[in-house]
């Protein structure tokens, strides 16, 4: 699904990713943990196509195509989704118009007609039920005045609407209360299937109690320094990051 080889990226001449390798197979759930500032969100942004980050070396293959060759919207249309660590507020753009434009962008890419109003509303109803997104939030401007947790829930709603092949969740658990964490996790788990992969960035084991990963990786100073089974997350929670010194070879 996703093969990252020797990825180097920088922002304004500051290297942040320093030779990162990662392989995610179809249907797999990978978790990435790591200290603040280690480059987790940068990795997510580079994969999603944010232009501030310059890739200086390496390659990323997404389901047989060169991911780095596409712009952000093409990547999304090809099935990549990023749930932002800090979702953006866009006053004046209604959540529903936003989602309709997104879905029609994807449908255009697939050579399909724009979605009918009826089908769209049915889809909204189904997917917002999945993450228990209140109607009043759907109808407002994108994320405007949403609480932190509401924004995160809205990210998962968008993911459910767009049904990506690969979803990257950047600290979707932060800011969620216990019930919201359960609901969001259920939403993700409901979407798990053999063809869909997840990259879950988190600081906390508790999310991984709900969304059980196949692999856990530790990112430090722009590299994956350790990888292991789901138990690695428990070990990290207990011991912190200090014991992992050298990059894995």
Partner 1 sequence: MSQSSAAQDFVANVQAPQGAVASLAQEGQEGMGALPVPTRKSERWKYSPITAMLARPLRTATAPEGWPGDVEPNPVPGLDAYRIVLVNGHVVPEACDLPVADGVVCMPWCQAVEEGHLADLDWSGYHRREWVGAVHAAHAQDGMFLHVAQGVTLDRPVLVHHHTTGDQVAACPRHRIVVEDQAHAEVVLWHSASNGATGMVNGVLEACVGAGARLGLDKVQHEEGEVFHLAHEHVTQGKDSTFRIHSMTVKGHWVRNELNAVQEGQGAHTIMHGAYLPKDREHVDNHTTMDHTVPNCTSSELYKGILYDRSTGVFNGKVFVRQEAQLTNAYQQNANIVADAGASINAKPELEIYADDVKCSHGCTVGQFDEEALFYLKSRGIGDKAARALMVQAFIGDVLEGMGQEEVAQEVETLLADRHGWS
Sign, CA torsion 135/141/144/145: negative
**Tokens standing for 21?**
């390798």
The torsion angles phi and psi of 205, rounded to 5 degrees, stand at -60, -35
Residue 232 binding target from Mg ion, ligand ATP, partner 1, none, CB below 5 to 8 Å by type: none
User: Per CB under 6 A, does 41 bind ligand ATP?
Assistant: yes
**106 touches 162 (CB < 8 A):** yes
State the Cα–Cα distance between residues 40 and 244, nearest whole angstrom: 17
**189 touches 211 (CB < 8 A):** yes
User: Per CB under 6 A, does 52 bind ligand ATP?
Assistant: yes
State the Cα–Cα distance between residues 111 and 107, nearest whole angstrom: 6
Q: Determine which residue in the list 37, 135, 145, 240 makes contact with ligand ATP, applying CB under 6 A.
A: 37
**222 touches 19 (CB < 8 A):** yes
Paired sense of beta strands 54-62 and 2-11, if any: antiparallel
Residue 213 binding target from ligand ATP, partner 1, Mg ion, none, CB below 5 to 8 Å by type: none
Binding mask 169-208 for partner 1 (x = CB under 8 A): ----------------------------------------
Q: How far is the CB of 164 from partner 1 (least distance, A)?
A: 9
Q: Determine which residue in the list 18, 38, 41, 95 makes contact with Mg ion, applying CB under 5 A.
A: 41
For ligand ATP (CB under 6 A), the number of binding residues is: 13
Residue 38 binding target from ligand ATP, Mg ion, partner 1, none, CB below 5 to 8 Å by type: ligand ATP
User: Per CB under 8 A, does 49 bind partner 1?
Assistant: yes
Q: How far is the CB of 103 from ligand ATP (least distance, A)?
A: 29
What counts of helices (H) and strands (E) characterise the chain? 9, 12
User: Per CB under 6 A, does 16 bind ligand ATP?
Assistant: yes
Q: Determine which residue in the list 5, 26, 27, 98 makes contact with partner 1, applying CB under 8 A.
A: 98
Query: Distance from first CA to last CA of the chain, Å, rounded?
Result: 23
Residues near ligand ATP (CB under 6 A) are 11, 14, 16, 34, 36-42, 52, 85
């Amino acid at each position: 699904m996703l093969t990252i080889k020797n990825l180097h990226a920088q922002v304004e001449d500051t290297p942040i990713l320093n030779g990162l390798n990662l392989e995610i197979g179809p249907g797999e759930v990978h978790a990435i943990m790591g200290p603040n500032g280690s480059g987790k969100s940068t990795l997510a942004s580079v994969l999603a196509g944010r232009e501030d980050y310059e890739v200086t070396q390496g390659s990323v293959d997404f389901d047989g195509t060169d991911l780095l060759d596409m712009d952000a919207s093409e990547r999304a249309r090809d099935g990549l989704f990023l749930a932002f660590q800090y979702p953006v507020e866009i006053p004046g753009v209604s959540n529903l118009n936003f989602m309709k434009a997104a879905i029609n962008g994807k449908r255009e890419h697939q050579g399909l007609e724009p979605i009918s109003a009826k089908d769209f509303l049915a889809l909204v109803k189904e997917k917002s039920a999945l993450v228990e997104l209140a109607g009043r939030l759907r109808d407002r401007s994108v994320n405007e005045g949403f609480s932190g947790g509401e924004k995160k829930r809205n990210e998962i709603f968008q993911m459910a609407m767009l049904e990506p092949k690969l979803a990257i969740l950047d600290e979707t658990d932060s800011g969620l209360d216990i019930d919201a964490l359960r609901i969001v996790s259920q939403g993700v788990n409901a979407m798990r299937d053999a063809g869909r992969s997840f990259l879950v960035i988190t600081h906390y084991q508790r999310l991984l109690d709900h969304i059980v990963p196949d692999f856990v990786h530790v990112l430090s100073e722009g590299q994956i320094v350790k990888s292991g089974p789901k138990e690695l997350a428990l070990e990290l929670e207990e011991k912190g990051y200090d014991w992992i010194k050298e990059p894995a070879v």
